[in-house]
Amino acid sequence: MTAIAPADFGRVAVLMGGWSSERPVSLRSGAAVLQALVEAGVDAHGVDVDRRVDRVLRDGGYDRVFNVLHGAGGEDGTIQGLLEVLGLPYTGSGVTASAVSMDKMLSKRIWRAAGLPTPPFMRLTADTDWGRVVKALGLPLMVKPVAEGSSIGMTRVDDAAALPAAWRHAAESGGEVMAEAWIEGAEYTVAILDGEALPVICVETPRGFYDYEAKYRADDTRYLCPCGLPAEAEDEVQRLALAAFRTLGARGWGRMDLLRDGDGKFWLIELNTVPGMTDHSLVPKAAAAAGMDFQALVLRILATTLTEDSGHVG
C-alpha cells in the first residue's frame, strides 16, 4: 500500500458523545482518537454529536469521518445512513451491518443460519413464562438488552426467582430483552482490522462476568496477550471471528467477543462494530501486541475510508 500522508485525509470529523447510554465511554474514546490524529498531523476536529449533527457536518467542510459513537444512534446504522446521504466516507461498517450487529438476537440468528456456534437464547417480555425460559436455557443464564453495549443492563441469573428483576433491569434501556444460555469458561476477544484478525486477548475478572465496572473502572481486570491458547486454538478462534464478522457484512474494523467452554468449543457472543478506544479498551491492547501503537492503529482505521467500500466516496 502506498504511504499515506496526513494531508491525504483532508479535514476529518471525529464523531463522539451522542445520546446513548454509552455517551461517557464514547467521549473518552473520541478524545483519545482525536488527540492521536492531531498529534499525527491530521486536520482532525472533534464533534460532540447531538440531533443537529447533520448541520454541523454539512457546514464543516469535512472530507471524511472517524466514527467513535458507541451504542444507539452511532453503532446501529443511524449515523451511517446520514453519512451516506451526506456523501462522507466513514470508518467502520455500513448501514445494514451496523444495524444487524447492534441487534444481538438478529446477529445470533444469522450466525446460526450460517452454521456458526452461538449460545441458545430467547426473547423476554413482561408476559414470559419464566419457568419455560429456565427449562429451555438452564441455569445460570445471562439476561441482557438486545441493543446495548458496554455490558449495560446485563445480569447473571442463578435462580429462576431472580428472572423478573433481571428482565426489568434490562428493559430500563427501552428496547427488547433477551436471555442467553450461560457458557462456563474463559472469555476471549478478537480485534479485526482491515480483514485481519489481531492477536487474541483472554479477559479475566474476579467479578461474576466482564461487566461495565470490569471494563472501564476496575484495576483488577486482567488482559492476557498472549492469550495462553495453543497456536492451533488461537488460529481457530481468529478464523471463527473473521467468519462471523464477514457473515454479518461488517467491514473496516470491529471486535468479536467469544467464550470457550470446558470442552474447548468457542461460542460467538457479539460483534462490536465501534469498539471502545479508551485506556482500558481491548482493540488498542491487541494492536499493541501486533506491534502497532495507538497512533498507528488510529491512522490505519482512518485509512480504510480511502477505499471504495468505506461508505460513499463521491
Q: Which residues are catalytic?
A: 22, 150, 216, 255, 257, 270, 272, 276
Give all strands (DSSP E) within the chain, no chain letters: 11-17, 43-49, 64-67, 121-124, 141-145, 155-157, 177-181, 185-193, 196-197, 201-204, 222-224, 253-261, 266-272
Quick check: 92 and 274 in contact, CB under 8 A?
yes
How far, in Å, CA of 2 to CA of 172, rounded? 49
Quick check: 255 and 198 in contact, CB under 8 A?
no
Backbone dihedral angles phi then psi of residue 271, each to the nearest 5 degrees: -110, 130
- Of 102, 220, 233, 211, nearest in space to 150 by CA: 211
- Supply 241's cell numbers: 471471528
313: Cβ–Cβ under 8 A, 6 or more apart, which residues? 89
The gap from C-alpha 47 to its chain's centroid, in whole angstroms, comes to 20
Quick check: 105 and 148 in contact, CB under 8 A?
no
How far, in Å, CA of 48 to CA of 46, rounded? 6
How far, in Å, CA of 267 to CA of 183, rounded? 8
- Of 120, 188, 175, 130, nearest in space to 157 by CA: 130
